[in-house]
Structure 1
Amino acid sequence: MSTARAPLAPRRPPVIDVRGVERVYHVTNEVEVRALAGVSLRIGRGESVAIMGSSGSGKSTLMHILGCLDTPTAGRYLLDGVDVRDIAEDDLADLRGRKIGFVFQAFNLVPRTSALLNVELPLAYAGLGRAERRRRATDALRAVGMGRRLDHPPSELSGGQQQRVAVARAIVTNPSLVLADEPTGNLDSQSTAAVLAIFEELNAEGRTVVLITHEDHVAARARRIVRLGDGLVVEDTGPVAAPA
């Protein structure tokens, strides 16, 4: 007696699928800078990846493209299987707000505004009501150990605490992808360890985490390291997550 086999579930596309991406900046009519010279890279769901490279290697340009803050001069970038070239600008802004959380080296917090209100900002842009914004922002700050600093402005917080607030703001929309550009560059060693531990917790929860860094000890906390040089991937080491 034969039994019918259940159909295989379709394989989900990688979160990030970069195909031969180039980015050229025209400084003048005669001078151009080729920041990316043909990068191809796939990052699956739930991966923890560090992208490394010296100054001028193209890592920050790549991060801006992955975050849909910039567009390639040539090549394709598929986010969750969708070519970003096919997405209208208004829809792209909405997609960034829903799917991607950004953390930057300079924190980018609004001065003279409480930690709570800083974290609420993405939710306000998304149109959520005040009570829901307050609840979700409070939960996000508690998740990064800042539950007792809700009413403090950035000027009353240490660098490490400000970066925790920035991380809370990045995750308050519950994004599946977190992009962090040199997130520990302005922090001391103790604060660096604390912030990296938060990224590890986010990854353990199933989020895809991509760190841009030039520091070996930061990259070592990721499960996969991608090195850039002269606008190209020159090394890709570490385990790659199995397709979800």
Structure 2
Amino acid sequence: MESQQPPVIQIRHVTKSYGHGDATVHALRGPGGDRPQGVSLDIEQGDFVAVMGSSGSGKSTLMNILGCLDVPTSGRYLLDGIDVGHLDEQQLSLVRNRKIGFIFQSFNLVPRTTALAQVELPLAYAGVRAAERRRRALAALSLVGLADRAGHKPNELSGGQQQRVAVARALVTAPAMLLADEPTGNLDSRSTEEVLAIIDGLNATGRTVVLITHEDEVARHAKRVIRLVDGAIISDVRQAKVDGPPPALDLAGARP
């Protein structure tokens, strides 16, 4: 059944260039030769999209734009119905906090800070009261199987556990989209499967996921694979997901 809601992500004719004159680099340009049309893309609520491409393909630039970490040179981007091109820096910061859950390859955890406090951080920035922050952070840690590690600091956790803390932190604000940049790049094979199973489960409950990866095995978990070359989308394919049901997750406790 087609989604009756507007796309979580809607970009139209987006380009991104760096430099000037002969030194200009067109990181995103889309098709069109001498007259590039820019990149256009819709991602519906509940989709799971893997974005792939080699170094220099434009996938990192696209991720930064989708994550409101950078702005396009031209074109339009609507995130969950919000035209981000009309927002100032403070408003963009609020959108990042409330609408996007980031998961990075390097975990980006704060040293000497407990897992519980790490997960509470986005809620603290959003002004959520302490008791509610704790409740929601504990619920998010429980979802990723780390309720018993709430008091542990990063140096007391394995790499896989650290990334699961990062996943809990990303989902605790109930964002419109999880944006994962090479989330398994620093993990061994067992931890990779554990983290991907959690992401599968979150998507199965309706969470929209955009995953940046260069690994085919990781991309196999997605419902849809987009490939970029030289700043343009060259393919956008629906695929059968990997075998095996995702774990059942109850997100109610982690929602606002």
TM-score by length of 1: 0.90
SS in 1 for 2:15: strand
Q: In the TM superposition, what whole-angstrom CA distance separates every residue of 1:49-83 from its partner, at most 9, and x where no partner exists? A: 10001111111111110111110011111112332
Larger radius of gyration: 1
Number of the residue aligned with 1:25: 18
Larger relative contact order, structure 1 or 2 (CA cutoff 8 Å, min sep 6)? 1
Q: Which amino acid aligns with 1:24?
A: S
Number of the residue aligned with 1:179: 179
Give the distance between the partners of 2:200 and 2:70, measured in 1 at CA: 27
Give the distance between the partners of 1:128 and 1:12, measured in 2 at CA: 28
Give the distance between the partners of 2:201 and 2:116, measured in 1 at CA: 21
Give the distance between the partners of 1:112 and 1:103, measured in 2 at CA: 20
Matched, 1:112 2:112: yes
Give the distance between the partners of 2:161 and 2:4, measured in 1 at CA: 40
Matched, 1:35 2:27: yes
Q: 1:166-205 maps to which residues of 2 (within 5 A)?
A: 166-205=166-205
Q: In the TM superposition, what whole-angstrom CA distance separates every residue of 1:119-178 from its partner, at most 9, and x where no partner exists? A: 111011111111111111111011001111111111111111100000000001111210
Give the distance between the partners of 1:168 and 1:96, measured in 2 at CA: 16
Give the distance between the partners of 1:228 and 1:110, measured in 2 at CA: 33
Give the distance between the partners of 2:155 and 2:58, measured in 1 at CA: 32
Number of the residue aligned with 1:13: 6
**How far off is 1:29 after superposition?**
6.7
**How far off is 1:11 after superposition?**
4.4
Q: Which amino acid aligns with 2:39?
A: V
TM-score by length of 2: 0.86
Q: Can you give the 5+ residue segments of structure 1 that lack an aligned partner in the other structure?
A: 1-9, 240-244
Give the distance between the partners of 1:72 and 1:122, measured in 2 at CA: 25
**Which deviates more from structure 2 when the two are superposed, residues 64-73 or residues 12-21?**
12-21
Q: 1:1-244 maps to which residues of 2 (within 5 A)?
A: 11-26=4-19, 31-37=23-29, 38-238=38-238
**What percentage of aligned pairs have identical amino acids?**
64
SS in 1 for 2:75: strand
**How far off is 1:183 after superposition?**
0.3
Q: Can you give the 5+ residue segments of structure 2 that lack an aligned partner in the other structure?
A: 30-37, 240-256
**How far off is 1:30 after superposition?**
5.0
Q: Please provide the CA RMSD for this pair.
A: 1.5
4+ long deviations beyond 4 Å:
none
Give the distance between the partners of 2:145 and 2:21, measured in 1 at CA: 50
Give the distance between the partners of 2:203 and 2:176, measured in 1 at CA: 10
